[in-house]
């Protein structure tokens, strides 16, 4: 914001310079032309100042409106996964998922937007499915979600290691954009990790924060009761 305002400082300098110059001119006009012309000149000056200040205010509002996006870009540049493991951008999580060692990935998603056709995880999910990694999605039991599930299934040619379980609304009471990703949920390789999606205000992009292993236990335990143990009661047809 400081840099942006410094770039606009010329406006303040220009207005100050014009004011001084007009003051000198007005002094001469007062002596030569009288009060009538002077008042007209003052009105003209007032109009110029108001117009310039309006333009400056409009520019400032525009700069402030761009701040969230610019702050996000700066934050992304500092999120080095080698140093900060607990917070990742979507692109960084995609890269992590491409190298997972576990045999299974569980995902709780309110809309499948990031894994559906055109989503950022679409390709990496396909690659992992082909190399034998299992994917289990837990999604809301809604008609629109069943249609999207079918799209995801067909996109990946309905492999046996891809399954869906429909959950009740109680799993999605926190936020309409709730999502969890759990790698190696049963810790078979000792590399289990869970990430919770954090929507950025005013942006479609997500950040993903690593959650405590105790919370992962709670989530996995609850999902097992809903059919995540291989005995699904309400899964999408294959």
- Is pLDDT of 196 > 50? yes
Q: How far is C-alpha 15 from the geometric centre of its chain's CA atoms?
A: 40
What average pLDDT does range 143-172 have in this prediction? 89
Q: What is the pLDDT of residues 10-35, one digit of tens each?
A: 666 666 677 767 677 766 666 666 66
Confidence (pLDDT) at 38 = 61
Band of residue 202 on the pLDDT scale cut at 50, 70, 90: low
- Is pLDDT of 178 > 90? no
Least confident of 131-135, 189-193, 196-200: 196-200
- pTM over 0.85? The answer is no
Band of residue 234 on the pLDDT scale cut at 50, 70, 90: very low
What average pLDDT does range 84-91 have in this prediction? 81
CATH number for region 87-228: 3.30.870.10
Q: Domain residue spans in the chain?
A: 2-78, 87-228
- Is pLDDT of 117 > 90? no
pLDDT: is 86 or 139 the higher one?
Answer: 139
């Amino acid at each position: 914001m400081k840099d942006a305002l410094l770039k606009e400082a010329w406006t303040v300098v220009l207005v100050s310079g014009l004011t001084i110059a007009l003051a000198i001119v007005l002094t001469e006009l007062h002596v030569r032309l009288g009060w009538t012309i002077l008042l007209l000149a003052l009105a003209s000056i007032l109009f110029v100042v108001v117009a310039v200040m309006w333009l400056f205010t409009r520019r400032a509002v525009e700069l402030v409106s761009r701040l969230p996006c610019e702050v996000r870009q700066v934050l992304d540049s500092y999120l080095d996964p080698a140093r900060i493991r607990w917070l990742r951008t979507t692109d960084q999580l995609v890269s992590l998922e491409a190298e997972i060692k576990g045999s299974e990935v569980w995902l709780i998603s309110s809309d499948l937007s990031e894994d559906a056709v055109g989503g950022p995880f679409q390709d990496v999910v396909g690659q992992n499915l082909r190399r034998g990694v299992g994917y289990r999605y837990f999604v809301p039991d809604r008609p629109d979600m069943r249609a999207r599930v079918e799209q995801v299934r067909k996109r990946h040619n309905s492999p046996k290691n891809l399954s869906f379980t429909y959950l009740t609304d109680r799993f999605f009471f926190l936020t309409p954009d709730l999502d969890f990703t759990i790698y190696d949920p049963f810790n078979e390789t000792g590399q289990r990790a869970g990430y919770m999606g954090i929507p950025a205000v005013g942006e479609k992009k997500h950040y993903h924060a690593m959650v405590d292993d105790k919370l992962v236990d709670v989530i996995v335990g609850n999902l097992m009761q809903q059919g995540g143990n291989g005995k699904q009661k309400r899964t999408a047809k294959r």
